[in-house]
Structure 1
Amino acid sequence: MKNVELIIIGGGPIGIACGLAANNKGIDYLIIEKGTIVNSLYHYPVNMQFFSSSEKLEIDSIPFISKEAKPKRDEALEYYRRIVTSNQLNINLFETVKEVNKTEELFTVNTTKGTYTSRFLILATGFYDIPNLLNIPGEDLPKVSHYYNDPHLYAMQKVAVIGASNSAVDAALECYRKGAEVSMIIRGESISDRVKYWVKPDIENRIKEGSIDVFYNSTVKEIKPIFIIIDTPKGEKTLENNFVLALTGYKPNFHFLKHLGVNLSNDDSQIPEYNEETMETNVKGLYLAGVICGGMETHKWFIENSRVHAKKILEDISSKHTVLDTKN
């Protein structure tokens, strides 16, 4: 069993920012990441371009230089990887946290590779690991995916894209341009207003000209091996289909938060309780950083507006660490 002052669960951009802040404060820390560096970004679509400009994705005032104003996935991977390696951050990769318990003043963290104890714990786990399921028959078929990576796979195939957000729109456009026959099934009456402003006219024009079919105010009722059944305002409709991309969003690990004793709001948003000045939850010594703070409102927090969490948290931890050292 190894003891460190601070454990950071999650090695994404905000977890890395917390590690840098801990370095600056002289706090003994360890980042535990279940995958590679910025694992969620690694699993983003290969052609993805960020909504934010590069300077808004910077952490700890380390310059992020990209070819265009809005960087792409591969540039972000390079940027965050270089930060980790150049600053020799203390990070364990491909190590999954299995359980966390708190007794008195210490957290005990059990992973696939060991057991650790710490006085402080930061959850910077994001939300990308748990998709919002449709909970319909056929969702478990091999042709269904809640993640999208490369459009080449869908060339010359009939593809149903469920959703109207950035990920759904990007997938629909890219698959269409690689030769797929694309249909979009959208629960609302239009493409989301949060879609990237330079992409929204593109998808709307492709729909208008008939290149991409769309069913508004509609839901998928059932998925079969060679077709899908959808409910539309005009009644039930059957579509021939080879692949389904159910890009309906993701959510934080609420079970994990509840297990640790974090209070969640009683409404559908399930926003966790935390102090906005320090980011400490109702559980003493447990902090939240990044998009996990938004509960189901995953659109509220991004890298650019949550990178400040690292400084807030480490300022608070540093003050408590100093008090402890003085008492000792």
Structure 2
Amino acid sequence: MTALRTFKKRVAKNGQLYLLLFPAFALVFVFAYIPMPGVVLSFMNYDMFEGFSGSEWVGLEHVRAIFELPMMTESIWNTLLVSILTLVVCFPAPIMLAILLNELRLAVFKRVVQTVFYLPHFLSWISVIGIAYGFYALYGPLNDLRIFLFGPGTERLMFLANQHWFIPNVLLLSMWKELGWSTIIFLASIASIDQQLYEAAYMDGAGRFKQTLHVTLPGIVPTIVILLILNLGNLFQSNFELIYGLQNPYVNFEVISTIVFKQGIQQGAYGLATALGFVQGLVALVLTITANRIARKASGIGIW
């Protein structure tokens, strides 16, 4: 009863905060927890007309069949390649942008720059892909710029129909859309650093660069480590919407998430697709736990 009364007092005291959190909790519950029983499809030859009770139980057959799928091995390597390159290229970018924005002293200019970088986040991926098709078009702005710079004889290129440009396009569009939004986390972390540390560094003769190097960066290390752990856990995940949207008859590039979609939605192999997604989730869990343990031992910082 004491615990219940304490909980009621806490809810009454922070009622508005709990109310703000409710939509997020509801979304997670509806889209993450309610579908969890569906993992049983991994072990069944599911028939939508027979339902769960009438479908054949096949055990681990689908898990074994995963590695016999065409393009499966290649899709695993493609997923790892895109994830690692995204981590190497896109993860440090918001850190650097946050530090640069923090150094801006003209408030109006700082707000304008932040707005310009934040806005793409609110576009859907299908809108981003549409913009990319227009920008990269044979007679689009990018080809026009190349002709303006290099002369009328410059060959117009089909950037989205070239296999070699696929990964650079994925990285570029991912960074353009999410760079500004990811910066918010690091700006908040920088804002939480005690200003007395900067004053002490200034009194010791440190300039802006040394203050950034010895005060700002160490101050945001916990945030960097936590986000890095979460990103390492997603090495076998990929941006399905972007990669699937950029696929076309000229580009053959599959990742695990596109295989799941094509097996489950296009071919109706619900059990096989669910098994693949289940294994992918288990790998992500193992990677997250491993990364957290390594970070905890190396720096004393972790998610738990």
Structure 1 length-normalised TM: 0.23
Question: Of Structure 1 and Structure 2, which has the larger fraction of its residues in strand?
Answer: 1
Question: Of Structure 1 and Structure 2, which has the larger fraction of its residues in helix?
Answer: 2
Structure 2 length-normalised TM: 0.24
